[in-house]
Amino acid sequence: MSNSANQNLSQDVQCETKTCAAFQKKYVTRDVQAGIITAAMAIPLSIGIAIMSDYPIQVGLATVAFASFIGWMFAWFRPGNFIGAPGIAAGLAPILAMGVSIFGISNMAFIIFLTAAFQAIIWKFNWQRYILQLVPTYLVEGLLAGIGLKIVLAFLVFTYEVPAVFDSADSFLTFERMLIIGLSIFGAVLFLVLFKLFKDRQPAVPYFALIVFGILVALFFPLSMLKVEDADLALALPIPDFNSISLWAYAIGFALMLAIIDVIEQVMSNAAIEKIDPLKRKCNSNNSLLSIWVSNMGSSFFGGMTNLDGLAKSSTNRLAGAYTKFSVLVIAIVITFFVINIQYLEFLPKFALGIIMIFVGIKMILGLLHVANFGRYAMLLAILCGLLVYWVGIFEGLLIALAIHAFINFVIFKERDNIGTHDIVRNYLNKFKEQDGLN
What is the rounded CA–CA span in Å between residue 129 and residue 248?
A: 28
Q: What is the pLDDT along the chain (439 residues), one digit of tens a residue?
A: 444 444 443 444 444 444 467 778 888 888 998 999 899 889 999 999 999 999 999 999 999 999 999 999 999 989 999 999 999 988 888 889 999 999 999 999 999 999 999 999 999 998 887 776 777 778 888 888 888 898 899 899 999 998 877 776 677 788 889 999 999 999 999 999 999 998 877 777 888 899 999 999 999 998 999 999 888 888 999 999 998 899 999 999 999 989 988 888 888 888 888 888 888 898 998 999 999 999 999 999 999 999 999 877 888 888 888 899 999 999 999 999 999 999 999 999 999 999 999 998 898 899 888 888 888 888 998 999 999 988 887 777 878 888 888 888 766 555 444 444 445 445 544 554 555 554 4
What is the rounded CA–CA span in Å between residue 399 and residue 260?
A: 13
Which residue type is seen at 416? R
Distances (CA, A) of 382 to 104, 154, 244, 282, 424: 30, 22, 34, 29, 22
Distances (CA, A) of 435 to 118, 271, 411: 21, 15, 26
Q: Which residues pair with 309 in a beta bridge?
A: 86
**Most distant pair of Cα atoms in the chain: their distance:** 83
Secondary structure in 3-state letters for 297-324: HHHHHHCCCCCEEEHHHHHHHHHCCCCC
pLDDT of residue 5: 42
Q: CA 143, 149, 155 angle in degrees (round to 5)?
A: 135
pLDDT of residue 13: 44
Q: Which of 403, 409, 434, 407 is nearest to 423 (CA)?
A: 409
pLDDT of residue 420: 47
pLDDT of residue 46: 94
What is the rounded CA–CA span in Å between residue 204 and residue 184?
A: 19
pLDDT of residue 416: 46
pLDDT of residue 171: 75
What is the rounded CA–CA span in Å between residue 308 and residue 318?
A: 16
Q: Which residues pair with 349 in a beta bridge?
A: 225
